[in-house]
Copies of this chain bind each other. A is one copy, B any other.
């Protein structure tokens, strides 16, 4: 019987979730907590099969919660359960090893389906989340730093590891012009080197 643990700071929501799950004879509720400070220990002791994890909790956020659980018991499936659609947090959770991502607007039946799905080795995601996840593989291009088209070209080459000289040759402009573009890019990204620019660009899905 799948063992389930809930981390959720909203008392009302947590209790009603726990109540709902307890009414399902096919699950075993082995714990519910209003914070994830002790998630590591709890995970080691109770060995849950599925963890429902809220993101926005006082103290350690659920993003750390995922880490605590996964580091101590990788085979436990963690489903994020949150109101937020925040892109940054979403990707942090995924990188921390979350196995699913359901929005709190998810009706109880879909929640049960999701639990079944992670147990079966799947990855339940609310439709809007799934779409964002797939989108992250292609578009990106938030360009929140207002790079000009030319600067984006230069940044692409920079990311490919090109030196200023190679960029100049590739775009058929002078060495100093290439360097001028680079300097402007660094200013806009608030960094002081090409290496930082590459890290920021790839990390924040700018290109």
Contact = CB atoms under 8 A, between A and B. Distances in A.
Contact of A199 (B137, B163, B198, B200): B198
So how many copies of this chain end up in the complex?
2
A2 interface: no
B133 A134 contact: yes
A161 interface: yes
Interface in A109-132: 117, 120-128, 130-131
Nearest to A195: B161
B200 A161 contact: yes
A199 B138 CA distance: 17
A27 interface: no
Contacts of A162: 195
Contact of A134 (B94, B159, B200): B94
Contacts of A197: 161
A98 B139 CA distance: 11
Contacts of A100: 134
A137 B95 contact: yes
A91 interface: yes
A174 interface: no
A76 interface: no
Given A195-B198, A199-B161, A123 B133 contact: yes
Contacts of A191: 161
Interface string A69-106: 00000000000000000000001001111111000000
Given A123-B133, A202-B202, 16 more contacts: A91-B137, A94-B134, A98-B134, A121-B128, A122-B128, A122-B131, A123-B127, A124-B130, A125-B130, A130-B130, A163-B193, A163-B195, A194-B195, A195-B195, A195-B198, A198-B199
